[in-house]
Structure 1
């Protein structure tokens, strides 16, 4: 699916399987990246990138854009806040790719599993 644009990507279409692997659902509107024959506006309006409303073609960057922005609270880890803000960049060329976002999540998930494993070992040694 790396050469496809979802065209209706939002949080409701991000799924997890029993192994906590990421899955993308609702592929009914997806099309090849280079398909410019159908640029009708589809999707959930708060999640559609602004350039789509200006007549630009859907792109991988427009799939990442998300206007429906959560409040970033003070206790949000800086790495999460920075990634979230980078997805909001008004310049589509500065928005991280899905691959970059997944790599961030994978590295955080790997660290989290390592931390939990080592934290539990430490607790057992103390008891």
Structure 2
């Protein structure tokens, strides 16, 4: 959920772009966002203070940059859906990007193979309070937007 939504603002296309960044990262990493911590008021505060999900080191740089732009604390700095699509279209014709993209199926295949071979175990630990269902959290008085240093995002 976008930080501005946690603060009680209206949903907008820009908050959807934030969610798109979350989804892109989850697809690439195969790990739900903030799976290792409680989904509570503290997490909401941390998100409003600039905390974002971890981006795997293996993620191609151009995708990291796009995801991080989608996560900008200021909704006005996030790309529009048209800009995201145009960015992806330009990647199609970029030789370097194509080389990086070819690595993704291999990564995904490796994770899929591991998942199938360890049917009862997970690739990641889930915190007992990392709840992925709707519920009420009193999120009044959250801080205004902040962007966390991107080096913190990758190193957590």
What TM-score, normalized by structure 2, do the two folds share?
0.36
Instruction: Give the TM-score, by structure 1 length.
Output: 0.43
Higher relative contact order (CA 8 A, sep 6+): 2
More helix by share: 2
Q: Which has the higher strand share?
A: 1
Which of the pair has more CA radius of gyration? 1
